[in-house]
Copies of this chain bind each other. A is one copy, B any other.
């Protein structure tokens, strides 16, 4: 053959729901097969989803996947097409029980298989709990209809030495072995389950561009899309030419098929005549991936409706906006739960916001509940105990409402608050999901201003300009007890994302302008671990988020 028509299937799997995932892939393949494709490519672990985590220890899941693979095999025969997809593979003997593999089916046969070498176990990844590295296995390109396919799985394409705590991916001889295989290929195909972070789109292009360029061979990148717990798969799948230049890509944030024709002389073209993609606005991506995260979390958990507390502040305003985008205004309920400390202005802003968004709004004053607890426990009506009591009264009422109306409760805390423990456990931390729990406060400002200027000014202007306040005491401001967020966030980001790489410079910075020193911030961050241990799942958007990728001890004597 002079060319191969290839369809990359960017599906949105549900973890451990093999039947659902198989049905989805089958129907995509059946629909597309009428268009004369030679080869269908589905992402890493396409049938079990990424990642079943410890469910990989369940023999029934592995068996269901085996059966589904057999359906795929028969489908390749029925439709006379090639189908290539990622799956687990049982193995015997010393070592871990599974490989992370990729098999090519055609005419009812498994034509060939490659296995993942680099098994990630940093950040959110824990593949080493189950997957053995294929480090000692020689791997060759697979032959398919006269083409040599150079296959590699996700992490095997990420070759550079990574930074402290993550440079486990850099066995140079593995890179040589992978290169030896890719060098013999007519087209490179990487199947992935590639999670989002703020700069990941650019990083993926940069990394995979190097592979294409090094081998002067076109490259296809196939990934899944959708959210799984805290992990967001943004897509897109894409195609690069022999120069490593991005030629075209699928849609992001939704299921899509990327249709490609690759010729013997290593040219690629888009069957749909897709244009060369423009560099996207990162704020646009950033807000869309959160919308996807909320939608998938709520719907994959079989809920339709959500509720959240609306304080009149910027955090809950952002979550309300994103939830409306994700689920439709009719499925979002915002509740204001005022005390005497909530100003007329914030109460009115909460109501105006709900009107602007077209979401349902209720006001439930909490004074009576707080008074009742105050009397029972003889609480002094000021100070931290009293502040937490207000927050917990709100949590209790919102959880009651959540159960009464079968609405998932979203929590509205941000990363700066979670880092500093500026939040109440079992109070404002109540909720099934923390959609902006990985956004620093300055990210929240930035995203809201971007939304305000690009997406029809949904926010009452005063929400964007008022100094942040928890309104749990008279005239309280966040910056009474925390450094200004513009300062705090620079320091937090260095501590959390950069292992305090810029500590020296930021220490003098903090000395000059911050009410807490660099080391004080480190100490407070770590002393608040007990709150984060019981926090809801957080949608991950930064290289290092609280949650699966932040495994810190609770009991410790760490002194920076």
| Shortest Cβ distance from residue A174 to the other chain B in the assembled complex, whole angstroms | 9
B397 contacts A376, CB within 8 Å?
Answer: yes
Q: Please, how many angstroms separate the alpha-carbon atoms of A15 and B555 in the complex? A: 7
- Across-interface contacts of A126 in B (CB, < 8 A): 121, 126, 551
Residue A14 CB within 8 A of the other chain: yes
Residue A388 CB within 8 A of the other chain: yes
A554 contacts B537, CB within 8 Å?
Answer: yes
Q: Please, how many angstroms separate the alpha-carbon atoms of A401 and B392 in the complex? A: 13
Q: Please, how many angstroms separate the alpha-carbon atoms of A129 and B549 in the complex? A: 10
A556 contacts B15, CB within 8 Å?
Answer: yes
Looking across the interface, which residue of chain B has its beta carbon closest to that of A94? B170
- Across-interface contacts of A401 in B (CB, < 8 A): 377
Residue A533 CB within 8 A of the other chain: yes
Q: Please, how many angstroms separate the alpha-carbon atoms of A301 and B528 in the complex? A: 12
A392 contacts B396, CB within 8 Å?
Answer: yes
- Across-interface contacts of A535 in B (CB, < 8 A): 534
Interface 0/1 of A523-537, CB less than 8 Å to B: 000000010011111
Residue A453 CB within 8 A of the other chain: no
B403 contacts A399, CB within 8 Å?
Answer: no
| Shortest Cβ distance from residue A216 to the other chain B in the assembled complex, whole angstroms | 27
| Shortest Cβ distance from residue A24 to the other chain B in the assembled complex, whole angstroms | 12
| Shortest Cβ distance from residue A115 to the other chain B in the assembled complex, whole angstroms | 16
Contact of A16 among B20, B388, B553 (CB under 8 A): B553
A558 contacts B376, CB within 8 Å?
Answer: no
B388 contacts A373, CB within 8 Å?
Answer: no
A53 contacts B128, CB within 8 Å?
Answer: no
- Across-interface contacts of A366 in B (CB, < 8 A): 376
| Shortest Cβ distance from residue A385 to the other chain B in the assembled complex, whole angstroms | 5
Interface 0/1 of A118-156, CB less than 8 Å to B: 000110001011101000000000000000000000000
A97 contacts B534, CB within 8 Å?
Answer: no
Interface 0/1 of A146-187, CB less than 8 Å to B: 000000000000000100110110111000000000000000
Binds B, one of A25-33, A57-65, A251-259, A341-349: A57-65
- Across-interface contacts of A228 in B (CB, < 8 A): 553, 555
Given A17-B558, A426-B395, A499-B57: A553 and B369 interface contact (C-beta under 8 Å): no
Residue A454 CB within 8 A of the other chain: no
Residue A300 CB within 8 A of the other chain: yes
Name the residue among A129, A171, A228 with the largest chain B CB count within 10 angstroms: A129
Which residues of A are in contact with B by a Cβ distance under 8 Å? 14-17, 19-20, 49, 51-61, 64, 94-97, 121-122, 126, 128-130, 132, 161, 164-165, 167-168, 170-172, 227-229, 296-297, 300-301, 364, 366, 368-369, 371-373, 375-377, 379, 384-385, 388-389, 392-393, 395-397, 399-401, 403-404, 425-426, 430, 432, 499-500, 530, 533-537, 548, 550-560
Known: A64-B559, A396-B426. 14 other contacts (CB 8 A): A14-B555, A19-B557, A54-B552, A58-B560, A96-B168, A126-B126, A229-B554, A301-B554, A372-B372, A373-B396, A377-B400, A377-B401, A385-B400, A392-B399
Write 8 A-B pairs (CB below 8 A) sorted by A numbering: A15-B555, A15-B557, A53-B552, A130-B165, A300-B555, A366-B376, A388-B400, A537-B554
